[in-house]
Amino acid sequence: MKPFIIQSIRLTLVLTVLLCVIYPVSIMLIGKASKGAGNGETIIVNGKVVGYANIGQSFTKPQYFWGRPSAVAYNAAGSGGSNKGPSNPDYLKDVSNRIDTLLKYHPYLKRSDIPSDLVTASGSGLDPDISPDAAKVQVERVAKYRKLDENKVATLLNNSIEKPLWGVFGPSKVNVLKLNIALDQLK
């Protein structure tokens, strides 16, 4: 038994150096060559960081495209979903209220036009994207509040749609932050 204990302690020490120091530090050094140097990719507008490319942020003002509901209010110091079950009555009420709010701001929409990602919370609470449909239904409202030509906003949106990976794998999507930055720059 005793030799096993000593071997265990020594092996743990040796592996700690290999797995917890050499391995992650090498990855950190290699990561310096990546976008954002391994700190996460930020987006800079007018010399100021306005957000992380991959992290969604809260948009509530009517002149912006809105992202998805978030269980953590887009506070990226944490993360998480609502964890509401599909039959939970409180949850279904929340969804119903979100639909009503959307209809209030978009009186031109029918219920069947509303894509469900706009009324359901994401898994991380930090989802940076919405589906192309979810962006399209907001075009008229955004154009109205910005006093812009609707076609101009629609074209901007079309150019912002990110296609599936290599054109074949996964869904199309729109990064809400990037779209809104482009929108701010539209004159």
Show contacts with another protein in window 77-96 (CB under 8 A).
77-89, 91-92, 95-96
Question: Which residue has tokens 């999507």?
Answer: 173
Residues 107-146, one symbol each (x = binds another protein by CB under 8 A, - = not), give ----xxxxxxx-xxxxxxxxxxxxx-x-------------
Neighbours of 14 (CB within 10 A): 10
Which stretch in 18-26, 138-146, 153-161 sits in contact with another protein by CB under 8 A?
18-26
Q: How far is CA 176 from the centre of its chain?
A: 8
Q: Of these, 99, 148, 161, 182, which contacts another protein (CB under 8 A)?
A: 99
Let me know if 76 is exposed, middle or buried by CB neighbors in 10 A (0-12, 13-18, 19+). Answer: middle
Phi–psi pair at 70, nearest 5 degrees: -130, 135
Give the shortest CB-154-to-another protein separation in angstroms.
19
Give the shortest CB-105-to-another protein separation in angstroms.
15
Q: Of these, 46, 47, 64, 148, which contacts another protein (CB under 8 A)?
A: 64
Question: Which residue has tokens 């071997």?
Answer: 7
